[in-house]
Amino acid sequence: MARMKFLCDAERCIECNGCVTACKQEHEVPWGVNRRRVVTLNDGVPGEKSIAVACMHCSDAPCMAVCPVDCFYKTSEGVVLHDKDLCIGCGYCFYACPFGAPQFPQDGAFGLRGKMDKCTFCAGGPEADFSAAEFRKYGRNRLAEGKLPACAEMCSTKALLGGDGDVIADIYRNRVLKRGKGSEVWGWGTAYGKPEKQPAAQPGAKS
């Protein structure tokens, strides 16, 4: 069984926000909620990188661990979904998620969170597939249609990959090898920098 995952290639992302727009358009996401967003580091300076961030559908999801009403569940394909009928809007999942994926509507009174909303990997929710209730609460169920998430399909540079984790890992691995960095992209030099060269010992010097 495939394990569905997202991967964003920061070397290809151009901060066009096409993935954000595709998600909002596909699911008619309400104003103030962004299931996906683009984050840019070192904006405007050398080394600038952008990356699209949404729910990463973690194998050991912290949102599931902290939810007091157990509204989260995981599909057979590893997609982390939630039941809005059970959600009480406590916000625990928002504080637990390292990606800031859980979103809350912004049109309520101060202190009123409302039902949590997040990326569904275009897999709908607990309601019947293609039902009006499913679309109203969670958006379109593209996975049931045999399609990939809209954000990944609409990415103009194919920076955002979504699908079987093993397949997208192979795609990214091949990209890294073709960039000429080889295995060093994961190595000691990448993490800590190249070792400094020691000066050559002078002839006759005592060690």
Q: What is the spatial distance between Cα 197 and Cα 123, in angstroms, rounded to a whole number? A: 53
pLDDT value at position 176? 87
Burial class (CB in 10 A: 0-12, 13-18, 19+), 90: middle
Mean pLDDT, consecutive 10-residue segments, the chain of 207 residues? 89 93 93 91 88 94 96 95 93 93 74 83 94 94 94 94 93 86 54 62 62
Contacts of 136 (CB under 8 A, 6+ apart): none
pLDDT value at position 112? 63
Q: What is the spatial distance between Cα 49 and Cα 33, in angstroms, rounded to a whole number? A: 24
Q: Read off the tokens for 53.
A: 């961030």
pLDDT value at position 177? 85
In whole angstroms, how far apart are CA 30 and each of 16, 99, 102, 106, 118?
21, 20, 14, 9, 11
pLDDT value at position 134? 94
Q: Read off the tokens for 26.
A: 């596909």
| Residue corresponding to tokens 């406590």 | 90
Q: What is the spatial distance between Cα 103 and Cα 84, in angstroms, rounded to a whole number? A: 12
pLDDT value at position 73? 96
pTM, full prediction? 0.80
